[in-house]
Amino acid sequence: MKEEEIVIRKALTKDIPQIIQLVRELAIYEKSEDKMLVGLTTYQDAFDAGHFEAFIVEVDSQIAGIALYYSRFSTWRGPILYLEDFIVRQQYRRKGLGKLLFECFISEARERKYEMCAWQVLDWNEPAISFYNKYDAVYEDCWVDVKMYLSN
Indicate which residues carry an active-site annotation.
Answer: 132
3-state SS assignment for residue 142: coil
Pairwise CA distance, residues 44 & 46, whole Å: 5
User: How many alpha carbons lie under 13 Å from residue 146 in its C-beta half-sphere?
Assistant: 3
Q: Biggest alpha carbon distance in the chain?
A: 53
How many Å from the N-terminal Cα to the C-terminal Cα in the chain? 52
3-state SS assignment for residue 9: strand
Which residues, in sequence order, are bridge partners of residue 70? 82
Which residues, in sequence order, are bridge partners of residue 56? 9, 66
